[in-house]
Amino acid sequence: MSKNKAFYLNQLKPGQKCKLVDVNIGGATGQRLTDMGFIPGVEIEVLRNAPLVDPVELKIRGYNVSIRHSDAKYIEVNIL
Amino acid sequence: MNKNKQEYIVAVAGQPNSGKSTVFNMLTGARQFVANYPGVTVEKRIGIYSYQGQKIKLVDLPGTYSLTSYSLEERVARNFLINENPDLVLNIADASNLERHLVLTVQLLEMGMPLVVALNMMDISKGRGFEIDEESLAKELGVPVVPTIAQKGRGKEELRQAILKGCLGKDKYKNSLVVDYGQKIEQILDELTQNIANDNRYSNYNPRWLAIKLLAGDTEVRSMFHQ
């Protein structure tokens, strides 16, 4: 894995798309993300932020899901 | 447990937003009552209906994304499946969002549960341009797959039929799906599975499932082995 420029999902703006590299969190949160399809290689589109910024709505595997920025920051991605 | 086959017990499992409750209501109508799972404040809905003279008791499991031991709901659902040993599990999957919903399906199959899959929300799925080959899916999973639109009551008869067949052990499918975790992991899994299968303390469980959970570091399963 190239370490020169790691982006995390919380850094993306609405409208941007990315490919998931890794989920850097384990435990219940990591498991839940995995269950919902956050698996390396999957494409994610950032749709919009809620009025008070958190949470962020994403499109993944054909469905929409909202997650917290505090969880999104563990999701390492490549911007497309 | 005294199980005269006067009534069959069917657990209803599904991810959140799979339309689990709608299917549940479609099948059972008004004959429902609500209790709690023992010791925890998780609602347990039970419904009974009769089909071709056979009493079927549906137990609604909490909606969960998967069957790990991280959340209370998941533990409740999992423990019910293991301890109560239902005659059949009815898995509700949202056909418009199938990829995610099949995660739970595969986990149920891994537990060795006798399964019937209801592909719900077929109308929305079609509206989104999906075309699902139910026959192939059923073959691939090794369990019956019944398309439904629970909100409109579609597929009720077919589903009731599939459930009865499943309870009587008469459906033509045999749970056959085995996830291949790759050679390295499979080697370890095989060894663990053998050891577990030879130990009668774990005869209640599907040995391969226990082995997978052990490897995955599932805290509940691990503590079981520490004792």
- Looking at beta carbons, which residues of chain A come within 8 Å of B65? 32, 35-36
Q: Please, are residues B188 and B207 in contact by the beta-carbon 8 Å criterion?
A: no
Nearest by CB: A28 against B71, B99, B128: B71
pLDDT in tens, B106-160: 999 999 899 999 999 999 999 999 999 999 999 999 999 999 999 999 999 999 9
For residue A12, give its domain range. 7-79
Q: According to CATH, where is 3.40.50.300 located in chain B?
A: 7-167
What is the per-residue pLDDT for A5?
A: 75
Q: Is residue A39 part of a domain?
A: yes
Domain count, chain A: 1
- Looking at beta carbons, which residues of chain A come within 8 Å of B99? 37, 61-62
Q: Is residue A54 part of a domain?
A: yes
Tokens of B28: 């059972």
pLDDT of B54 > 50? The answer is: yes
Calculate the CA dihedral of residues B4, B173, B206, B86 and round it to 10 degrees.
Answer: -30
Q: Which distant-in-sequence residues (6+ apart) come within 8 Å of B67 by Cβ?
A: B74, B77, B78, B81, B104, B107, B108, B111
* CATH code for the structural domain at B7-167: 3.40.50.300
| Strand bridging mode A75-79 / B7-14 | unpaired
Reading chain A (80 residues) residue by residue, the pLDDT tens digits are 555 578 999 999 999 999 999 999 988 899 999 999 999 999 999 999 988 878 999 999 888 999 999 999 999 999 98
Complex confidence, ipTM? 0.79
Single pTM value for the model: 0.88
Amino acid, single-letter form, for residue B187: Q
- Looking at beta carbons, which residues of chain A come within 8 Å of B220? none
Determine the Cα–Cα distance for residues B217 and A35; give it in Å rounded to an integer: 16
Q: Is residue A1 part of a domain?
A: no
- CATH number for the domain spanning A37: value is 2.30.30.90
